[in-house]
Structure 1
Amino acid sequence: MSMFGVAAIENGETVTIEQRADPKSFLGLSLKNGLLNLVTLTLYRFWGKTEVRRRLWNSIHINGEPLEYTGRGIELFLGFVLAAAVVGLPFLSIFFAAQFLGPALAGVAMLLLYVLLGFLIGFGRFTAFRYLASRTVWRGLRFHMEGSASAYGLRFLGYVALSVISFGWFWPAAQRRLSGALWDSLRFGDRKFRYDIQRARSHEPVYVAYIATSFLTGLAYAVFAVVLVLLLPGFGEQTAEPSLADIAKVYLALLLAAPLFAIAVAPYQAASLRTVVAGIQLQQVRGQIDVKWRSMAWLYISNLLLVTLSLGFLMPFVQARTSRFLLDRVRTPGEANLVDVRQAPQGPRTGEGLADAFGLAPI
C-alpha cells in the first residue's frame, strides 16, 4: 500500500507523454501535400493525411518510446468510397426525391434525413476513433476499441435530441458522456481504459464556461451583423443576384469577426477539454490538462490565420503545433503495469470513410 492508501501496481511505471519533433519540421510536408492535392484535385489527401499521421505519431513519445502509425492511404481511400456508395448515394437520392413530394410528405422525409444524419455522425465518430486506435502501436502492441458503433450512433442521436429539447442546455453533459463512452471503450492490448465520469464532473464547473461562451458568441454574431451592414447597406433587402464585390465583402466581414468567435468559444472548449481529460484513467494513471481559455483562444486565432493565409497549405503544420500545444500541458500522475501486456486483435480493414465525409476525423 502507498502512503495514500492506494494499492501499488505490480510492475507499475509512471507515464510521461511528450512531443519531441518541432512543428516547423512539418512545413516541408505541408508544402508537398498542398501541391500534390492541387495536382490530383484533392485525391492525394488520403495518402497525405496518412503521412502526416505517421510523422506526428512518431514524434510523440510515451516513456521515451515513440508511437507508430500503421494506417495506409489506400485504407482511407477505400473507406471513403465505401461510405459514399453505401450511405452517400442513398442519402442524396432520398433528399432529391423529397423535392417532388407534397409539403407534408417532404417534411416527414426531411425529418427522417436529419435523424439519419445525426445517427451517421455518431456512427462515424466512433469508427474514426476505432480506426485511429487500431492503427496506433506502442512497444509493438496495438490499441483497439470494444463496443458498437451503432450503439454509439444511437446514443449520439438521443443526446442531440435532448439538447434540442433543452435549448442546448444538455449539450455540455452530452459531450462529456459521449467522450467518456469513447475512452471507456479504448484498450491498450488487454489493458482497459476507464472513464470516471464522477471525477470529470467534479473536476470542472463546465456550465459556467458554457454560459460565458453562449454570451460571447451572441456578442460576436452581433458584431458580425453590424460589420456586414456597414459594408453592405441594405443587406437582406436586395432582390438582384449579389455581385462578386458583395460576396467579397461578406467574406471580409467573416474574416474580421472570426477572431471574436475564436475568443467566444475558447472558455467552453478549454473547460470541456479539462473535464474530459480529467475522467480518463488507465489503472492508477489519471489524466490532467492545464489549458486556459486565453491560450486556447490564441491557438484558435493563430491557427485560423495560418490556414487562411496559406490557403490551407499549412494544415499539417497547424495540426503538429496543436498537438504540441496540448501535449505540453498534459500530466499523467499515477502508475500502470505496461510490461506484460498482451497483443490486441486486428482492427478494421478500411479507414474512417464516414468521418472523412462529415469532416469528423480529428487528424
Structure 2
Amino acid sequence: MSAVFESAVPAAPREERIEFTATGSEYFRIWIVNLLLTIVTLGIYSAWAKVRRNQYFYASTRLAGSSFEYHGKPLAILRGRVVGVVLLGSYQLALRYHPPTAGIVLILIAGLMPWLIWKSLQFALHNSSYRGVRFGFRGSWKGAYLHYLGLPLLSGLTLGLLYPFVHQRVKRFQHSESRFGATHFAFDAPVGKFYKAYGVLVLLLVLGSAVAIAIVAALAGGFSALNGGNTDILVRAGQTLVVFVGFFGWYAYLLCVLWAFMAVLQNLIWNHTQLGPHRFRSTMKWTSLAGLYITNTLAIICTLGLFIPFAHVRALKYRLESTTLVVAGSLDDVVAAKGSDVNSVGESVADLAGIDLAL
C-alpha cells in the first residue's frame, strides 16, 4: 500500500541543462564546403548548405540525453528562395530603373511579409523534432498580420513609445502559439518588464552619450587652453586624438550596454516561457556575453574571416547552455500531434530579407 502511495506522489522538479556538443573544427569543415559550393553554384547550393548546417547543429543540441532533429528538405527550401530572389530582385530593379515603381513593390513586399513570417514559423517548427515528436505552430495568418504589421505600424505612429509593448506581444504570439506534439508553450512575461528593460537601455545610452560628449569637450578645451605654449598643429593633433579616443570609448560603452540588454532580454523571455508543466530558466550574464563577442570579433579579424565558424559555434554554445529546462514530471508525457505539411517559401524569403525568426 505504501509503495502505491509513493508512486502517486509527483516527482520533485529537476533541472535539465541544454548541452551543445558541436565543435568549431567539425563545423569549419561543413562551413568551408558549404561556402565553396554555394559560390560555385551561384547560390543554388545554399539550400543544401542550410540543411547540412541545421542537421549538424540540431544533432549537437541535447536535452535530457536526447538530441534534436531537423527534417527540412533542400528542394523545398530552394523553391522558397527562388520566390525570395524574385521578390527582392524586383524591388532592386525597380529602384534602379523606375524609383516610383520601387515604392509600390516595397509596399507589396511589406504586405506579404506577415504571411511569409507566418509560413516561416510553421515550416521551421514543423521540421524540428525531439525524441521523435515534432514541434508545430498553430498561430493564424490573421494573428501574424496583427503582430508583424498592425502593431509595428501603431508603434511607428507613437514614435516608438509602444515598441516594448509590441515586442512583448510578438514574443507572446511566437511562444504561446508554438507547440511540442500536443503540448503547447505558454508565455507570461508582463509588458511592464519589457518597458523597464527598454527604459534602462535608453537611460544608459543617454547618460553615456552625455558623459562622453562632456569629457571630449573638456579635454578638447584643455588643449585649446594650452595654445600659448604649443603650435596650432600640435593643438589640432591633440584635439583630433581626443575625439578619436572618445569616439572609440563611447562605441565600446555602447557595445557593452547592448550586450547587457541582449542578456536581459534572453533571461526575461525564457524565464517566462513554459512547456506544459515544465518551465525554462535562463542565466545568461552580460559580462560573459561581452567577453565572447570581443574575443570572437578579434579572432575573426586576425584570421581574415576563417574564425567565423568557430565564433558561430562558441556563440551558440553559450546561448544554449545558458538555458535550463525545469522538468516537472516526465518529458515523455507528451502526445504527438499530426500537422499538415507546410511550404518553405516563408522561411527562405525571411532568410534573404535578414529577419531572425529563431525562437
TM-score w.r.t. the length of structure 2 is 0.73
Write the mapping of 1:204-223 to structure 2, written as runs, cut at 5 A. Answer: 205-212=196-203, 214-215=205-206
Write the mapping of 1:1-363 to structure 2, written as runs, cut at 5 A. Answer: 15-85=16-86, 87-88=87-88, 91-92=91-92, 95=95, 99=99, 110=103, 116-149=108-141, 151-198=143-190, 201=192, 205-212=196-203, 214-215=205-206, 261-308=254-301, 313-335=306-328, 337-340=330-333, 341-350=335-344, 352-361=347-356
Task: State the SS of the aligned residue for 1:339.
Answer: coil
Q: In 2, Cα distance between the equivalents of 1:8 and 1:14?
A: 18
Q: How has the CA–CA distance of structure 1 residues 219 and 139 changed in structure 2, closer, same or farther, with 3 Å as cutoff?
A: farther
C-alpha distance after superposition, 1:79-117 (max 9, x if no partner): 1112334x3355457656863x5xxxx8xx84x666555
Q: In 2, Cα distance between the equivalents of 1:209 and 1:279?
A: 20
Q: In 1, Cα distance between the equivalents of 2:210 and 2:74?
A: 42
Q: In 2, Cα distance between the equivalents of 1:65 and 1:276?
A: 24
Q: Which residue of 2 aligns with 1:247?
A: none
**Shift in Å at residue 78 of structure 1?**
1.0
| Counterpart AA for 2:19 | E
Task: State the SS of the aligned residue for 1:168.
Answer: coil
| Counterpart AA for 1:148 | S
Task: State the SS of the aligned residue for 1:33.
Answer: helix
Q: CA RMSD in A?
A: 3.9
Task: State the SS of the aligned residue for 2:52.
Answer: helix
Q: In 2, Cα distance between the equivalents of 1:58 and 1:301?
A: 28
The 8 Å contact of residues 83 and 354 in structure 1, kept in 2 or not, is answered as yes
**Shift in Å at residue 186 of structure 1?**
0.8
The 8 Å contact of residues 213 and 265 in structure 1, kept in 2 or not, is answered as no
Q: In 2, Cα distance between the equivalents of 1:95 and 1:8?
A: 67
**Shift in Å at residue 30 of structure 1?**
2.4
Which stretch of structure 1 is more off in the superposition, 267-276 or 306-315? 306-315
Corresponding pairs, count: 319
Q: How has the CA–CA distance of structure 1 residues 125 and 201 changed in structure 2, closer, same or farther, with 3 Å as cutoff?
A: farther
**Shift in Å at residue 210 of structure 1?**
2.2
Q: In 1, Cα distance between the equivalents of 2:286 and 2:15?
A: 29
* Gap regions ≥5 residues in structure 1: 1-6, 227-253
Which has more radius of gyration? 2
Q: In 1, Cα distance between the equivalents of 2:304 and 2:142?
A: 36
Task: State the SS of the aligned residue for 1:187.
Answer: strand
Q: In 2, Cα distance between the equivalents of 1:220 and 1:73?
A: 52
Q: How has the CA–CA distance of structure 1 residues 362 and 259 changed in structure 2, closer, same or farther, with 3 Å as cutoff?
A: farther
**Shift in Å at residue 276 of structure 1?**
1.2
The 8 Å contact of residues 126 and 182 in structure 1, kept in 2 or not, is answered as no
Q: In 2, Cα distance between the equivalents of 1:306 and 1:344?
A: 45
The 8 Å contact of residues 147 and 173 in structure 2, kept in 1 or not, is answered as no
The 8 Å contact of residues 277 and 289 in structure 1, kept in 2 or not, is answered as yes
C-alpha distance after superposition, 1:249-292 (max 9, x if no partner): xxxxx999875553242122221111111221112211221112
Q: In 1, Cα distance between the equivalents of 2:199 and 2:332?
A: 42
Q: In 2, Cα distance between the equivalents of 1:265 and 1:113?
A: 34
Which stretch of structure 1 is more off in the superposition, 324-333 or 262-271? 262-271
Percent identity, please.
22
| Counterpart AA for 1:350 | S
The 8 Å contact of residues 121 and 358 in structure 1, kept in 2 or not, is answered as no
